[in-house]
């Protein structure tokens, strides 16, 4: 089995068809189909279900893709490193919105001081998306909060964090420290989108207490949520780092639920099959 077979398989998965993969790799479609068949025969597994004229990746294919993607990428990294040894290297980092706004700029500044020739590429998104980028090898390292959903991801905890409940200054909960969790049931909630780590923690905690909170508003924008809370349109739960300034300026108020704290950890993650360069290892240690 050759690297060519793996490149073809990855291209078919990325493009969704043998024809599109052939166009991407400048290989005739019959050769693409033959390479996939050879892979299936060699490993004795079915990589795709062929339904109509479409290919649907199987569970075995998904498992195989995790390895094939990183083998192909490792080869490309080697090629680039050897051919461009004296030029600037690249490290691709993804971060959740909280970490990307408040912690990542400082980490990158420190990293650039010790690695001035490294080019740092950054993407900011919610924690679920960052995990997906790690699995598809679109980034090398991710900085997230919340729960890891894949056995292919390795995590290194580097900092603790807390979510806090917020409301408008005129709300009946403002500055209270003994709100019963049952009192939340009939409140209007303005929450981050599903897939964000904070939303996941809040929803799972409410479920533990037998509450199902259906938000009135959902937003990917923390600023939009804070403005809506300030206007008394609802209450919310957000990372303390993101609302600290608004609370200190008395634009909004904080309150606490009796017996409940929303604690979590920040983690730096990478794929378990990822070859970590020295610079990547240095960045991990810097965060830790």
pLDDT at 85 over 50: no
Contact assessment for residue 124 and residue 244, using Cβ atoms and an 8 Å cutoff: no
pLDDT at 87 over 80: no
Give residue-wise pLDDT tens across range 210-222. 998 999 999 989 8
Rounded-to-integer distance, Cα 75 and Cα 3, Å? 9
Sorted by where each starts, the structural domains of the chain and their CATH numbers stand as 3-83 (1.10.10.10), 90-159+265-287 (3.40.190.10), 162-263 (3.40.190.290)
Q: What is the pLDDT of residue 160?
A: 87
C-alpha count within 13 angstroms, C-beta hemisphere, residue 91 = 22
Torsion of CA 205, 152, 271, 99, to 10 degrees: 0
Tell me the pairing of strands 153-167 and 262-271: antiparallel
Rounded-to-integer distance, Cα 226 and Cα 222, Å? 6
pLDDT band, residue 254 (cuts 50/70/90)? very high
The torsion angles phi and psi of 123, rounded to 5 degrees, stand at -130, 135
DSSP code per residue over 228-286 = HHHTTS-BEEEEHHHHHHHHHTTSSEEE-BTT--EEEEEEEEEETTPPPPHHHHHHHHH
Report the percentage of the chain scoring pLDDT > 70.
97
Give residue-wise pLDDT tens across range 119-168. 899 999 989 999 999 999 899 999 998 788 899 999 999 988 899 999 99
The torsion angles phi and psi of 60, rounded to 5 degrees, stand at -65, -40
The torsion angles phi and psi of 50, rounded to 5 degrees, stand at -100, 100
Q: What is the pLDDT of residue 83?
A: 57
- 94, β-bridge pairs: 123, 142
Mean of all residue pLDDT scores within the chain? 90
List the one residue out of 274, 269, 273 whose CA is nearest residue 284.
269
pLDDT at 53 over 90: no
State how far the alpha carbon of 15 is from the alpha carbons of 9, 49, 57, 219, 249, in Å.
10, 16, 12, 31, 50
Report the percentage of the chain scoring pLDDT > 90.
62
Quickly tell me which residue has 């929450």 as its tokens.
Answer: 191
Q: What is the pLDDT of residue 81?
A: 66
More confident residue, 53 or 46: 46
pLDDT band, residue 86 (cuts 50/70/90)? very low
Instruction: Determine if the pTM surpasses 0.85.
Output: no
pLDDT at 78 over 80: no
Burial of 159 (0-12, 13-18, 19+ CB in 10 A): middle
């Amino acid at each position: 089995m050759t690297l060519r077979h793996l490149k073809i398989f990855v291209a078919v998965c990325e493009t969704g068809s043998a024809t599109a993969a052939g166009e991407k790799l400048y290989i005739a479609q019959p050769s693409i189909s033959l390479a996939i068949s050879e892979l299936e025969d060699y490993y004795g597994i079915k990589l795709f279900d062929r339904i109509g004229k479409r290919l649907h990746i199987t569970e075995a294919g998904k498992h195989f893709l995790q390895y094939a993607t990183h083998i192909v990428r490792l080869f490309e990294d080697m090629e680039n490193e050897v051919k461009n040894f004296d030029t600037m290297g690249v490290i691709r980092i993804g971060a959740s919105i909280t970490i990307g706004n408040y912690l990542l700029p400082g980490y990158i500044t420190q990293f650039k001081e010790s690695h001035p020739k490294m080019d740092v590429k950054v993407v900011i998104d919610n924690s679920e998306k960052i995990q997906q980028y790690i699995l598809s090898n679109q980034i090398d390292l991710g900085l997230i909060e919340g729960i890891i959903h894949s056995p292919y991801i390795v995590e290194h905890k580097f900092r603790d964090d807390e979510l806090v409940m917020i409301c408008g200054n005129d709300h009946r909960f403002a500055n209270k420290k003994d709100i019963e969790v049952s009192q939340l049931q009939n409140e209007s909630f303005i929450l981050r989108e599903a897939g964000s780590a904070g939303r996941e923690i809040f929803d799972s905690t409410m479920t533990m207490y037998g509450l199902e909170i259906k938000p009135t508003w959902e937003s990917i924008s923390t600023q939009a949520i804070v403005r809506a809370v300030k206007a008394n349109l609802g209450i919310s739960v957000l990372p303390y780092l993101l609302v600290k300034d608004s609370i200190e300026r008395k634009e909004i108020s904080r309150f606490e639920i009796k017996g409940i704290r929303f604690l979590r950890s920040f983690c730096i993650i990478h794929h378990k099959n990822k070859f970590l360069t020295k610079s990547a290892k240095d960045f991990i240690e810097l965060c830790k």
